[in-house]
Chains A and B, each alone.
Chain A
Amino acid sequence: MRKVDFVIIGGGPAGLSAAHKAAEAGLSSVVIERDDKVGGQLVKQTHMFFGSKKQYAKTRGIDIANILIGHCKAHDDLIEIMTNTTVTGLYDDYILTLLTDDVYHKIEAKAILVASGASEKFMLFENNDLPGIYGAGAVQTLMNVYGVLPGEEVVMVGSGNIGLIVSYQLLQAGVRVKMVIEAASQIGGYKVHASKIKRLGVDILTNHTVKRAIGDDTLQKVEIVEVDDQWNMIEGTEKIIECDALCISVGLSPLSTILGMLPVKMKYVGKLGGNVPVIDYHHETTMNNIFVAGDVCGVEEASSAIVEGSIAGLFIANRLGYKHPEYEKEMNDLTQQLENLRSGPFGVKTVEGLRELRGENDV
């Protein structure tokens, strides 16, 4: 069996950043990615990103992916990227089972970083399996990776940043976005994104949800309904909207299932998006040398995934005997960046969630 120092599960911004920082310190790694290319969520993002310069703000997501890939390529003597490979098993003797093109193989590592990202939440309503009903991620993959339109007239469900951004991208692709509906009483995402689609003629209807989808073989209409502030449907407010695509964007939850195979302590923290591993400040789980970074330990942004991955990469390299020449300086700077990113009203959820995760609320 192949034995290596450091295995990274997932080639998104968190995983790539970890590999890069570890390599800077001299530690080699193997990045395992189930897709045919690395970059994670970033490869679907055609818009300019938020954040600060250090996390490549104002660069388009797809270009950030290429920058991070470039950093890894510059260390190709130390970083091996294994695409089309899914991690199917993770065992407490630090052995992973992998599936590449229908072939199973095994690899053993001294340290493992799980950076598997997040998966989309779905919604329950009548006929929610009709063709024409998509998750926002699928719409982005179709449209931005393969150049295929999901439909001609779309209703978007969810006004978080993803719902707002994907609506804008649909407009750019020439699709008519009939409306964005949102069950909460306020828009969830950044107002700059909301204003941007509103001035293009897309209304955002707060206090509204989907009641059912209508269509014989494919989606033809949706029935929407008003909800009160406790999200109870208000009878008599139903409306029928014609559309051939419904795009669901109601949030993400950490893709932490693979961690379930290990004796690491998990905790359900709603503010972080779902079931997440209990971690310390260096992103180590309760099991020695098993680390996590990015959306898998709390759904956030690419900016924070990059910083978290870098912190984990530096720390793991140090643990395995490879100290980065500027370890203290880098670590302080990264910790500061993370604090800074989370210091505003949109970061409150994460900060509170992390506190809950670490049990710092139990007085």
Chain B
Amino acid sequence: MFEKTGVPSEKLVKSRFPNERYLNSFKAITECYEEIPCNPCETSCPFDAIEVGIDINTPPRVDFDLCTGCGICVYSCPGLAIINVMLEDDDAIFRIPYEFLPIPEVGMKVKGVNRFGEDICDGEILKVKEGKLQDKTIVLTLKIPKEYLYDFVTIRRLT
């Protein structure tokens, strides 16, 4: 199905998540499952936590013990295929890349969207990071209910 729709299976998605006990701080989730010639995730991580390796076509693998959740990979991936996530009480807190106008503001209520593009939950923007480093790929931090940990992927665009 992935080949026909662009929606990865639940199994594929979960294969890139660490055990939930790692999620008391931000960890990088790479939604990049295919062999493509690309490696900025590896070269931009200051902690050597992402490995692509000599063959630039190998999909990235994250070492969750090395990943500090710094968030640099989120805006460095040209495929916008990396998010950060952590769990806090009943919330899942995500950092996602975002390239649309208008830019959401802190405190704003937004709709959480799944990999099919459907609205699934409510969320709240906690932080908006834009600057020279982000180079127009804004990083949004937001919280959603924990139960959508494996379903949430982005937010509904503001109009």
Contacts and interface: CB of A to CB of B under 8 A. Distances in A.
Interface of A: 47-53, 57-58, 60, 171-172, 185-187, 190-204, 206, 301, 303, 340-347
A50 B7 contact: no
A206 B79 contact: no
Contact of A50 (B54, B79, B154): B79
B99 A192 contact: no
Given A50-B36, A341-B37, A190 B79 contact: yes
Given A57-B40, A192-B80, A344-B35, A204 B2 contact: no
A24 B22 CA distance: 50
Interface residues of B, number: 43
A344 B8 contact: no
5 contacts: A51-B56, A57-B40, A191-B34, A192-B32, A346-B36
Nearest to B79: A192
Contacts of B137: 48
Contacts of B81: 192, 195-196
Nearest to A194: B6
B19 interface: no
Nearest to A303: B37
Nearest to B7: A198
Contact of B4 (A186, A199, A301, A347): A186
Contact of B117 (A50, A51, A199, A340): A199
Contacts of A196: 79-81
A198 B117 contact: yes
Contacts of B54: 340
B115 A57 contact: no
B45 interface: no
A201 B37 contact: no
A195 B31 contact: yes
B116 interface: yes
Interface of B: 2-8, 31-40, 43-44, 54-57, 76-81, 99-101, 113-117, 135-137, 153-154, 157
Nearest to B76: A58
B126 to A, nearest CB: 21
A108 to B, nearest CB: 39
B113 A57 contact: no
A341 B6 contact: no
Contacts of A198: 5-7, 115-117
A343 B99 CA distance: 31
Q: Max chain A CB contacts within 10 Å: which of B6, B79, B115?
A: B6
B39 A52 contact: yes
Max chain B C-beta neighbours (<10 A), residue from A51, A60, A172, A204: A51
Q: Can you list the 10 inter-chain pairs with the closest CB atoms, starting with the nearest?
A: A344-B57, A192-B79, A194-B6, A48-B78, A201-B117, A58-B40, A198-B6, A50-B38, A186-B3, A344-B35
Contacts of B44: 58
A202 to B, nearest CB: 7
B115 A345 contact: no
